[in-house]
Amino acid sequence: MKIKILTLFPNMFSGFISESIIKRSIDKGVVEIELIDYREYSNDKHNHVDDTPCGGGAGMVIKCDVIDRALEANKTDKSYVCLMTPQGKPYKQEMAYELAKKDEIILICGHYEGFDERVRSMVDDEISVGDFVLTGGEIPAMAVSDSIIRLLDDAITTESHEDDSFSYGLLEYPQYTRPVEYKGMKVPEVLLNGNHKLIREFHLKEALRKTYLRRPDLLENRDFTKEELKMLEEIKKEEA
């Protein structure tokens, strides 16, 4: 896979691409990340990429012609172009899985007061990482890239992401390691007895419990199994 990131601040990504799983994935050829400074596509002698909004208003707006030229120079037939914007659709794990199937993704990072509205006609999707506003799209672009890369073959083991929060519609179950007891806090006995059936049931029930307590909205449209319904009733009684 190739990820191209259009940004005014490519240096912000230096740590992101040079550490941990992302660096290993790049080194192994799992993913290629190209940072593109779209300031280079300005036709202004001072390389300006923004202008005051027509009709007045605070702040500066990214110009549509700059983004268009940057896309024309870097987009291919395989490119899937995403605009990072708080006005986009909420980013969820299902979208990460869909994007991980693409051959090439272009992420456009905004800045200032956003983009000329005409930029929206140049993209395939608009993504928001939450109901809050940041100074630019660079951090969201890193978050989206990270969520995609870890799903690619050979980035990490499949088992490492199959049980992640949201991967199967629930928050991840609690996990423990040694020491078995620390400051009076003990690892649940069920995780120490080697009974894989009971361990699986514990994981499922505790994932349901955590989701019920912290993100009940995730359960609203869930197609529960009989086992899950039984566990959920038990949880409601236990937490009452």
Q: Of 127, 60, 61, 138, nearest to 95 (Cα)?
A: 127
To the query of whether residue 65 is one of the catalytic residues in this protein, the response is: no
Give the tokens for residue 226.
Answer: 């009989």
Of 51, 125, 146, 164, the catalytic one is 164
Give the tokens for residue 182.
Answer: 């620390």
CA pair distance 88, 130, nearest whole angstrom: 9
To the query of whether residue 164 is one of the catalytic residues in this protein, the response is: yes
Give the tokens for residue 229.
Answer: 């319904």
Continuous H helices in 28-167: 64-74, 93-99, 138-149, 158-162
To the query of whether residue 53 is one of the catalytic residues in this protein, the response is: no
Max CA pair span of the chain: 71
To the query of whether residue 86 is one of the catalytic residues in this protein, the response is: yes
Of 37, 65, 68, 113, the catalytic one is 113
Active site residues: 86, 113, 150, 164
